[in-house]
Amino acid sequence: MSATHDDPWETRFEALFPAYLLPSAMHGAIDAAAAEQLVRRVLGSGASFATFRAATLVAAHGNEIAEFALRALPDLCRALRGRTEVTPEAHRGRLLGRLDVPRTLTARMRGDRETLVSRVRVRRYDQPAEVVVRAVVVRLCAVLTSLLRGWGRTPPTWASHAIPWERALRRTLERTTLRRVSVVAFDEVEPNALQGQPHRAFALAATLFDALRETLDSNDPQSVARCVAKGALWPMEPWQRFELAVALTLAHAIEERLTREAPGHWKIRHAVVDPRRQEIVVFECDDGRRLRVFYNQSPLASGRRQEAIAHYFGSDASSRPDVVILGDGPGREPRAVVIEVKLSSDPSYLHRGFDEAIGYAVDYAQHLSGLASSVLVIPGRLRGAPRPGDRVVAIGWPDWLRPHVVHDAVLATVGGATDTASNPQ
């Protein structure tokens, strides 16, 4: 996959994720357990595939949900009239409604002189299409509520616009004629009843019924794969997407270089769906060397700076680079390149990010490969290009797409693409 030098990072990320993290066999089908592992590895241990699925529903059908919750459904509820049904009701010693003379006389003839039978007019809202709409509203409202609560008190930016949808659906259920519609479980309604209905709300309910069933309920591997592909970007904050764009772009560049310089000797293993692995990608050479890509993980032992802060201040000073590339192999000490990623244009914030990179160079000095082994990556351009002699370097996204000293530093952790373990550096 080629990239232009001015490829926007969002475009580049969308081109690589999530397919680059999945083995080729999973591009069209992935089981729910592997999808759960991918979500937790990328979004953090607190994430779940159920929450991810709900987010996917919002991502793929947000326009329909908004139209249904805010406009079409309230309009339908104002138009619902139900049907009137006259039913006989028998009460002892009292009359409710109009007297049903024949049935009352029948009771008298049986010797019951206290029972009065009346004809009561009852308004019922039990038409099949109305029942399906109510079931969709109940299910959709529950999904949105669970999704928003799953992120704590303050939902992330991407979910904030779902708040009025959830409120509107709940208000409609509690305060309109919809509350009087017969209650039938989502799995037991007949969605075909929505076909041919003239009101826009019925068509939207049909679309959302199918979306809810396929997105949330199906464990068919192909449906799960479509869910992952459609909603992969949605639950992430922009800084998470940029971090992964940096990690995956580097991994892809290293793969292309290994393939070019040592064809047939290196294989890629997509480890993100393997619950036994911390890495997201592993490159393995036929001579036993490995390059492992870690995202939001800390495979390196704490360094001197962290230990000193803990000693003098008694506080946990643990730090974790956003991306770690760790190289090892037979007869080689593990060596690493650590990367800090900042999605910002604020100079003072970027300066602090560079200070963090310097801190990593101190903390993890015993593990780092040498030159250009602690890196800060930012979205914009920098005044100067990375200098080969610097241990700590900063790179802007436009230069990140070009061959640069970090590629050399990563390959140096295993002695280069073509070097052998018998000649470690």
Residue 332 contacts residue 412 (beta carbons within 8 Å): no
Alpha carbons 398 and 299: distance in angstroms, whole number: 29
Confidence (pLDDT) at 157: 62
Confidence (pLDDT) at 424: 42
Measured torsion, CA atoms of residues 398, 403, 406, 412, in degrees rounded to the nearest 10: 170
Token pair in block for residue 409: 């530093």
Close Cβ partners of 214 (under 8 Å, ≥ 6 residues apart): 223, 226, 227
Alpha carbons 210 and 206: distance in angstroms, whole number: 6
The residues spanned by each domain of the chain are 48-79+127-231, 84-124, 238-412
Confidence (pLDDT) at 7: 63
Cα–Cα distance list, 69 to 52, 187, 256, 295 (Å): 21, 21, 48, 38
Alpha carbons 232 and 243: distance in angstroms, whole number: 15
Q: How many CB atoms lie within 10 A of CB 267?
A: 12
Query: 191 exposed, middle or buried (CB, 10 Å; 0-12, 13-18, 19+)?
Result: middle
Residue 71 contacts residue 245 (beta carbons within 8 Å): no
Q: Is 83 helix (H, G, I), strand (E, B) or coil?
A: strand
Alpha helix (H) ranges present in 46-161? 49-67, 73-79, 101-109, 128-149
For residue 111, which phi and psi values (nearest 5 degrees)?
95, 0
Task: Pick the closest to residue 417 from 222, 259, 306 (CA basis).
Answer: 259
State the DSSP H helix or E strand holding residue 99, giving kind and residue range, or none if neither: strand 98-99
Task: Pick the closest to residue 64 from 230, 203, 166, 159 (CA basis).
Answer: 203
Token pair in block for residue 324: 């770690």
Residue 360 contacts residue 374 (beta carbons within 8 Å): yes
Cα–Cα distance list, 85 to 90, 122, 350 (Å): 16, 5, 72
Confidence (pLDDT) at 100: 77
Q: What is the pLDDT along the chain (425 residues), one digit of tens a residue?
A: 334 445 689 888 888 888 888 888 787 888 888 888 888 888 777 677 887 888 888 878 889 999 999 999 999 999 888 776 767 878 887 777 778 778 878 888 888 888 888 877 777 888 999 999 999 999 999 999 888 776 555 556 666 778 899 999 999 999 999 999 999 999 999 999 999 999 999 999 999 999 999 888 888 888 888 888 777 766 678 898 899 999 999 999 999 999 999 999 999 998 888 888 889 999 999 999 999 999 988 788 777 777 777 778 876 656 789 999 999 999 889 999 999 999 999 999 999 999 999 989 988 888 898 888 999 999 999 988 888 789 999 999 998 988 788 999 999 999 988 875 444 44
- The overall longest dimension of the chain from CA atoms, in Å, is 111
Token pair in block for residue 358: 């310097």
Query: 281 exposed, middle or buried (CB, 10 Å; 0-12, 13-18, 19+)?
Result: buried
pTM over 0.85: no
Confidence (pLDDT) at 384: 87
Query: Radius of gyration (Cα) for the chain, nearest Å?
Result: 31
Question: What is the residue whose two structure tokens read 């999973």?
Answer: 26
Task: Pick the closest to residue 319 from 276, 394, 374 (CA basis).
Answer: 374
Alpha carbons 235 and 156: distance in angstroms, whole number: 8
Residue 248 contacts residue 256 (beta carbons within 8 Å): no
Strand pairing category for 392-396 and 374-378: parallel
Q: Is 101 helix (H, G, I), strand (E, B) or coil?
A: helix
Confidence (pLDDT) at 151: 59
Confidence (pLDDT) at 5: 44
Alpha carbons 21 and 138: distance in angstroms, whole number: 36
Residue 3 contacts residue 235 (beta carbons within 8 Å): no
